[in-house]
Amino acid sequence: MEEKDLEWNRIIEGVWLASLTVSQLPPVNGPPQTMAPTPAIRIRLNRGLFDQASSIASGLVEYQISRISLPSTQQCFTEGCVQIQNLRITNFRQPQGIYFGPIPPNQLVLRLTNFDFFITGNLGGSIQVIIQFPVGGTIYVTGRGLSVTTTFDLQKSVDDEPYLRMLTCGIEGGTIEARVAGMGIFTDTVNNKYGNMMSMQTRRNLQTTMCRHMQSLVDQHFSDRLRKLPRTVSVKDLTTLVISGTREEDPQVAGTNY
């Protein structure tokens, strides 16, 4: 846990340096400047910063994705509708790759590549075949070789607090297959006639759920920390920070008295 906190501190320091502004003092003599631009310092974030962010995102995703709460839903056919409940992820293969970093133009991407899952749930309802039959059973959903890509940009709220705004999110590639079992004489009919439709609707529902979860993850672990960054710094504090960093990097400077 201490190692993760240290990584967060390094990331926060890097992002903070990138968002520093130097307050401009009004002139001692002369009329006040009503529309004077505010000087700013722009600092480029290096590859190491995003590597650390990817490492943190990897740990968060691996812990939380398999614990996603899947909402109940309804699947309708020509013959009737069934309610699908108690959906849960019973097996999950971690993504082969997790990347968090910049993409043009001025955006960030969080990408999960090549993961599998297996979901089970209970279903119940009624089907009309001359007369109405109550049905119940189990639904199985298998996802293989899936990827999720989410893009963000950096925005600021009405209170000038920075946050990451989600722009796009979607499941890419792979296959999702939904099948039912335990419906008696209707099992094969439903799978053969409506299997593709169930799979497509399941894909849409999972995409909505996963993208909502990705937004929550970024809000909680990235945007929340961005909001706590200081938005101004004095020249004296900035100079002290730069000198302190120089001392740590140069052994000869470290032994010099200022």
pLDDT surpassing 60 at residue 92: yes
Direct distance between the N- and C-terminal alpha carbons of the chain, in angstroms, rounded to an integer: 36
Residue 133 carries which side chain, given as an amino acid letter? Answer: F
Q: What pLDDT, on a 0 to 100 scale, did the predictor assign at position 230?
A: 66
CA distances to 28, 68, 72, 146, 208 from 213, in Å: 53, 8, 16, 16, 9
Cα–Cα distance measured from residue 46 to residue 51, given in angstroms and rounded to the nearest whole number: 9
Per-chain mean pLDDT for the chain: 76
Cα–Cα distance measured from residue 103 to residue 152, given in angstroms and rounded to the nearest whole number: 10
The answer to whether the CB of 207 falls within 8 A of the CB of 168 is: no
Q: Does the pTM exceed 0.85? A: no
Quick one: pLDDT band at residue 32, thresholds 50, 70, 90?
low
pLDDT in tens, 116-138: 999 999 988 877 766 677 778 89
- How many degrees, rounded to 5, is the angle at CA 224 between CA 222 and CA 228? 115
- Structure token digits, residue 46: 């290096």
Q: How many residues does the chain have?
A: 258
pLDDT surpassing 80 at residue 48: no
Quick one: pLDDT band at residue 101, thresholds 50, 70, 90?
confident
pLDDT surpassing 90 at residue 229: no
- For 226, phi then psi, to 5°, come to -60, -35
Question: What HEC string does 120-150 produce?
Answer: EEEEEEEEEECEEEEEEEEEEEEEEEEEEEE
The answer to whether the CB of 206 falls within 8 A of the CB of 175 is: no
Q: Which residue has the tokens 């590639």?
A: 173
Task: Show contacts of 9-16: CB within 8 Å, 24+ apart.
Answer: 10/49, 10/52, 11/49, 11/52, 11/53, 11/56, 11/225, 12/225, 12/228, 12/229, 14/45, 14/46, 14/49, 15/45, 15/49, 15/226, 15/229, 16/229, 16/230
Across the range 197-215, mean pLDDT stands at 90
